[in-house]
């Protein structure tokens, strides 16, 4: 654990200083953060989320996952029922349950920029293969590995998938997935960002060399900021949790933020606090402290 004025153990100190602005919204990542490694939500975490909502603190799930993978938490939505998916590319109403979600807001990656990004990244990192995530479809190149527990709708080169007359051309593109078979994940990210900076936002959340390309200006933080502005909630009133580079902007933007005990070093550096690992219910630890401080 880093011992400095920006990284605080939630197990050793109160989660909220006495003078801090009371939280009105909790924004939490899922994989590696709220979810345990077996992809479950622990009973302690379920209870903490319910207690937060009961106390009038809204909870937003903010994830890189597509909407169709949100069944893991659909039983735990309260109140508004909204989640931010695809690293900010979509705001989804989960009230309908698995398979019945509704897109409330979509921030797409335009096909022209997506095509340019694919071509530039092929040149910058030869051997990169791609998949295309849309609102309701998932397509991939033939050489893209089986990284996801689903069967793609189409197997075609990315240039054909993203063509104006390509598969599901009427659906917005939410993000492009770019995989490299041999590069170090952080090195791949360092290559990709300057290569496609004028056409897409690039981040990563996987332990493998898998990058996620979204529309310019689209991130967890920017979409969360839009949702908060609609509710009259300031950054100072937001508590955020995350563990990977795709959480960095959100951890920086929120008034209070916690990197998990298992977090990537860059996420730790971005957060104002640190809690224990996801398998030790780090999100619940902080929420319990936040709520305890509200009644003191």
Predicted local confidence at residue 110, as pLDDT: 96
Rounded distance, CA 30 to CA 22, Å? Answer: 23
Predicted local confidence at residue 97, as pLDDT: 65
Predicted local confidence at residue 296, as pLDDT: 61
Q: Are strands 25-28 and 82-85 parallel, antiparallel or unpaired?
A: unpaired
Backbone φ, ψ for residue 15 (5° rounding): -70, -20
CB count in 10 Å sphere of residue 42: 18
Of 56-60, 69-73, 136-140, 171-175, the one with minimum mean pLDDT is 69-73
Predicted local confidence at residue 23, as pLDDT: 94
Furthest-apart CA atoms within the chain: distance in Å: 61
Confidence of residue 3 (pLDDT cuts 50, 70, 90): very low
Tell whether the model's pLDDT for residue 78 goes beyond 70.
no
| E strands, the chain, in order | 25-28, 58-62, 82-85, 90-93, 102-106, 129-134, 138-140, 154-155, 173-179, 201-204, 210-214, 238-242, 256-259, 273-274
Q: What is the mean pLDDT of the chain?
A: 90
Tell whether the model's pLDDT for residue 18 goes beyond 50.
no
* CB contact at 8 A, 40 and 279: no
Confidence of residue 95 (pLDDT cuts 50, 70, 90): confident
Mean pLDDT within 117-133: 98
């Amino acid at each position: 654990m880093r011992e400095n004025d920006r990284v605080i153990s939630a197990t050793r100190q109160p989660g909220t200083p006495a003078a801090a602005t009371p939280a009105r919204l909790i924004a939490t990542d899922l994989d590696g953060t709220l979810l345990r490694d077996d992809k479950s939500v622990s009973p302690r975490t379920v209870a903490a989320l319910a207690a937060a909502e009961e106390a009038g603190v809204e909870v937003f799930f903010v994830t890189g996952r597509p909407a169709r993978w949100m069944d893991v938490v659909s039983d735990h939505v309260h109140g508004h029922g909204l989640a931010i998916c695809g690293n900010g590319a979509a705001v989804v109403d989960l009230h309908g349950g698995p398979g019945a979600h509704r897109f409330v807001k979509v921030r797409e990656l335009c096909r022209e920029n997506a095509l340019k990004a694919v071509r530039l990244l092929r040149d910058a990192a030869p051997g990169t293969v791609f998949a295309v995530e849309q609102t309701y479809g998932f397509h991939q190149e033939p050489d893209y590995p089986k990284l996801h527990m689903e069967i793609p709708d189409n197997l075609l080169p990315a240039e054909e998938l993203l063509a104006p007359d390509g598969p599901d051309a009427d659906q917005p593109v939410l993000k492009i997935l770019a995989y490299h078979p041999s590069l170090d994940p952080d090195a791949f990210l360092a290559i990709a960002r300057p290569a496609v900076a004028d056409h897409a936002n690039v981040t990563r959340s996987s332990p493998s060399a898998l990058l996620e390309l979204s529309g310019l200006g689209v991130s967890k933080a920017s979409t969360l900021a839009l949702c908060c502005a609609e509710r009259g909630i300031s950054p100072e009133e937001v508590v955020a949790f995350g563990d990977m580079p795709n959480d960095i902007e959100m951890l920086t933007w929120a008034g209070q933020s916690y990197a998990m005990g298992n977090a990537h070093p860059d996420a730790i550096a971005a957060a104002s606090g640190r809690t224990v690992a996801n398998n030790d219910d780090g999100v619940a630890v902080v929420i319990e402290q936040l709520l305890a401080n509200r009644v003191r």
